[in-house]
Amino acid sequence: MAKRLYEVWKGKNKFIFRGRLIFGPDAKSLIITLLLIIVPVIIFCTNVARNLLGETSGNIAGYAILMVTVVFTIYVLLLLLLTSARDPGIVPRNLHPPTEEMCYDSSASIDVGRQTPTPRLPPTKEVIVNGVPVRVKYCITCQLYRPPRCSHCSVCDNCVERFDHHCPWVGQCIGMRNYRSFFLFISSSTILCIFIFGMSALNIKFLTNDYGTVWKAIKESPLSVVLMVYCFIFLWFVGGLTCFHLYLIGTNQVRHDAKTVSTRRTDNKKTTYETFRYRGVERPQVYDRGCLNNFREVFCSKIKPSRNNFHAYVQENERGFTRGMNSEGYIGNLDGNRREKVEDDREIGGDLLKISQRREAEDA
């Protein structure tokens, strides 16, 4: 019986609605994130906003504060869902290694006392990006050469295009297809923190005018102070993260494992991972298009469709691909095709050896 792709997926992702929504293996952390957002908003609406309605009775401002809080919170939650439940840009795994990239290592011996070239894949290869040679790595797990700026996430066990980092707060990788929604999520959360902090302070001000002293105002509405402290603490986190990603976008930096061959100035298009992994390493400006175009690329470019249709059915032979490759050949195949592949490569190696020996005999 044919199965859907999400049912035989080799990564560590979790799926719901028959593969229509994809999460990381740590998706349970979303519950904590939701509580950190929803609980303070409920406290604000049931206490602070209600007090502000009383202070501004007969004025639409009190209702506007309540409506803005509710609508903006829903907007933040939708951005969280778009970030955590979307394919971040997973590169599909190969069923077989790229045989056109095979090279032969004559140092390995197989068969009885014979030196035979053994097929191997180079660990890296060079590609040209904007006229600059870039070295990309071969991923043993996915059996492919990663595209430039792609990296393998050890948490989800997938190669992700323009991989920035794996965020435990959203339970998903941040990559090419969800980076925009991730940035909008953290920036909107920052604005929501500032708004709640400001409105709570305004409530304390109104109560101070009514009761005469700040201390009496705090005793009358202690939750306003709690919300101010809470928002102040989390503002350092989400606000600092927003500023950091503004810097990354402005300098067009996104994560990848590719290393450029040239050793000129630092590449000005890195992700969070690149910034910490390659600090102090000299690399050329391969991707930087200027600050304005860098922002346009993130916010105005069309999001590419997913390379994977997790809801689609897959054929039986499409599910037998391996998890990796070792130095002697290929392992992990379920249908035996990989073993036949190794035998063919050995026969080719033997033929090459015979040709080499024949030429040596002719020269002698």
Torsions phi, psi for 249 (to 5 deg): -70, -45
Question: Which residue matches tokens 């130095």?
Answer: 327
Low-confidence spans in the chain with pLDDT less than 70: 1, 57-58, 99-120, 131, 254-285, 316-364
First and final C-alpha spacing in the chain: 62
Residue 214: left if φ>0, alpha if ψ -120 to 50, beta else—which one? alpha
Question: Which residue matches tokens 């005018």?
Answer: 209
pLDDT given at position 334? 31
Q: What angle do CA 159, 164, 169 make, to 5 degrees?
A: 100
> How many Cβ atoms sit within 10 Å of the Cβ of residue 114?
10
Three-state DSSP class for 124? Answer: strand
Could you report the per-residue pLDDT of 251-284, keeping only the tens digit for each? 887 644 333 333 333 344 455 555 555 554 445 5
pLDDT given at position 58? 61
List b or e across 62-86, with b for residues whose CB sees 16 or more CB atoms inside 10 angstroms: beebbeebeebbeebbebbbbbbbb
| 361 Cβ contact partners less than 8 Å away, ≥ 6 residues apart | none
How far is residue 83's CA from residue 340's CA, in Å, rounded to a whole number? 43
Question: Which residue matches tokens 């439940």?
Answer: 85
* Type and span of the H or E element at 54: helix 49-55
| 202 Cβ contact partners less than 8 Å away, ≥ 6 residues apart | 52
pLDDT given at position 360? 57
Which residues are bridge partners to 138 per DSSP? 145
Catalytic residue among 139, 142, 153, 167: 167
243 tagged catalytic: no
pLDDT given at position 115? 52
How far is residue 233's CA from residue 230's CA, in Å, rounded to a whole number? 5
**In terms of Cα–Cα distance, which of 285, 305, 275, 3 is closest to 129?**
285
